[in-house]
Chain A
């Protein structure tokens, strides 16, 4: 009985030892890759923080309105520092994936393979969001300036509406690209948009009946002549 027990323990220990001997290099490789990733990501972070400001990236970001977007998102550090952090983390994430892959486990290989298949979609979604931020900020400012110059009293509201509508559109496009709950997004977008139009219609037609009548009358009737400037500016 004792001999049998000893034999079982011996086989278990030697089996574990063999498995460890076979798997050890993988763990070692994982640790090396992780360490390498940490060093490379850290170096990249430091290098970008030093180089980007010297290349005038912060001024460029300020001109594009990127700094304003970051500030609105609660990020007070310079745009170059934010980009350095994001890129460093992206590089580190890549090395983590490689490290997991080094374990040569079935689930790990599957995870790595699926992540790499999905990565282009993520990058495109991020690019779409960045483009949306830039385009909507640019158009918001254009609409605001034009509306103020035209003397429209609700210039900010109009500009804000354009900004929000564009951002919603770009976020929906990004999510659609990621394939996250396609049906849910489509349904939500339709419900929200339809709901907004219905709410405005009801508010305008019921609560603002008099206003609606005035508005329609103004559309149909010739507007009273506003006193026009006759001065030549040039």
Chain B
């Protein structure tokens, strides 16, 4: 059952005017006037170039921008003389610019996009961030093509990233998603996705639009829902992802709590599903993976290790609430080890994450406190990863990340046993 989503009168009138479309590009925005013009033009060029026969619409779902974002979208010209297209669209690319209704957040913006996709009976949809600087028309083909031409329901992005970028993704979100739901989706919280109209309608039936999914957890929710509810999933290689510059002082703890709580919340929702899954399989990949030079990233490893060691000393009383004695003893041993280089072993890290997931489910502490106390552990693990891969090339780094993901799989039995309220459990395969 699809829940009706309230749309402004102007948007309703535009929908009535359009009738139906074949493809839809959604762009959620909030104060993105600087970059959204480029994103809209790239999307329109991609539609014109790769889907010239399709009736298409670009939807900007805005969160009340004050910098003229909506005006920039409304004024964006699709037929710039500078744009060279091999094919020319048979029908014009339409635009809908509308504020969304509901809790402020990317999820509410997406809900409006899903609702418009459902109303227009779109066959294929894509959502792209409004602050992208690296989007090209080729992204549109890669996100929509697998849906229109190969009948996939969900296209996850695969970006080219620096080895130290996406450390929460690499150490928690990717390996957890893979181990839980059994699909090799490398960047589950990428932010730019393709999906079928059928999946858009399915998303609308879920009762999550008053929860954190509406605020900040939409990316992992879309990926996990698509996999767990057994839709056809694939990946598309999009190249490098470059955003508009963000605040470098953004609070890591708040961001960490948001992302990890979204993953853990979904574990509660899909418990029946993930406890029955064993192993993980690759999903088809579209696009042509290639390497390009990425700017070096500066990392203050000593500071990370310092915070981890301080956590081991000062937060032990908090960690005791989440970690069983043996895991806690291992963590303390890692913190107190004098040997160089600093090393946080994969099995210890995996058990830490699984134990925190169980503690989160059991509500042993308020979520902000529980997951906030996990930040020093994450920094310790990240420092260890940076040291381990200091001299490694992209393929070697990927092998390290895959190794960790396999460790998550090997310990899944431990998670299942602890989740089922058993006090402890040995890793799968160990006696």
Contact = CB atoms under 8 A, between A and B. Distances in A.
A227 B297 CA distance: 12
B310 interface: yes
B253 A146 contact: yes
B6 interface: no
A106 interface: no
B270 interface: no
A58 B167 CA distance: 38
A68 B321 CA distance: 11
Interface size of B as a range: 35 or more
A144 B318 contact: yes
B314 A156 contact: yes
Interface stretch (A7-15, A31-39, A147-155): A147-155
A21 interface: no
Contacts of A234: 166, 168-169, 189, 255, 259
Given A149-B376, A151-B306, A142 B369 contact: yes
Contacts of A156: 314
Interface in B313-360: 314-315, 317-318
A155 B255 contact: no
B165 A232 contact: yes
A231 B297 contact: yes
A31 B311 CA distance: 59
A228 interface: yes
Contacts of A77: none
Contact of B248 (A141, A153, A230): A230
Contacts of A138: 366
A228 B376 contact: no
B307 A149 contact: yes
Nearest to B190: A234
A231 B165 contact: yes
A153 B310 contact: yes
A145 B369 contact: yes
Give the one of B248, B297, B310 with max A CB within 10 A: B310
B164 interface: yes
B271 interface: no
A141 B165 contact: no
Interface in B166-220: 166-169, 189
Interface in B133-163: 162
B364 interface: yes
A142 B168 CA distance: 22
B256 interface: yes
B248 A228 contact: yes
B165 to A, nearest CB: 5
Interface string A138-170: 100110111011010101100000000000000
A226 B303 CA distance: 10
B14 interface: no
Give the contact-size bracket for chain A: 20 to 34
B372 interface: yes
B298 A229 contact: yes
B372 A149 contact: yes
Contacts of B162: 231
Contacts of A63: 363-365
Contact of B310 (A148, A231, A233): A148
Contacts of A233: 166-168, 252, 255-256
B353 to A, nearest CB: 15
A155 B306 contact: no
Interface in B371-423: 372-373, 375-376, 382
B256 to A, nearest CB: 7
Given A149-B307, A153-B310, A230-B248, A62 B373 contact: no
B83 interface: no
Interface string B71-82: 000000000000
Contacts of B248: 228, 230
A227 B375 CA distance: 19
A149 B307 CA distance: 7
A138 B166 CA distance: 32
Contact of A151 (B259, B297, B307): B307
Interface in A190-234: 226-234
B307 A155 contact: no
Nearest to A153: B310
A146 B366 CA distance: 14
Nearest to A231: B164
A138 B311 CA distance: 18
B364 A144 contact: no
A60 to B, nearest CB: 10
B300 interface: yes
Contact of A148 (B168, B314, B363, B364): B314
A134 to B, nearest CB: 12
B299 interface: yes
Interface string B218-252: 00000000000000000000000000000010001
A69 B98 CA distance: 53
A145 B372 contact: yes
Given A142-B369, A149-B372, A155-B310, A230 B315 contact: no
Contacts of A142: 368-369, 372
23 contacts: A68-B317, A141-B369, A145-B315, A145-B318, A145-B372, A148-B311, A148-B314, A151-B306, A155-B310, A156-B314, A226-B300, A227-B298, A228-B298, A228-B300, A229-B303, A230-B297, A231-B162, A231-B165, A232-B165, A232-B166, A233-B166, A233-B167, A234-B166
* 4 A-B pairs closest in CB distance: A231-B164, A145-B372, A233-B168, A230-B298
Interface of B: 162, 164-169, 189, 248, 252-253, 255-256, 259, 297-300, 303-304, 306-307, 310-311, 314-315, 317-318, 363-366, 368-369, 372-373, 375-376, 382
Given A141-B369, A231-B382, 18 more contacts: A62-B364, A142-B369, A144-B315, A145-B315, A145-B372, A146-B253, A148-B310, A148-B315, A149-B253, A151-B307, A227-B303, A228-B298, A228-B300, A229-B304, A233-B167, A233-B252, A233-B256, A234-B189
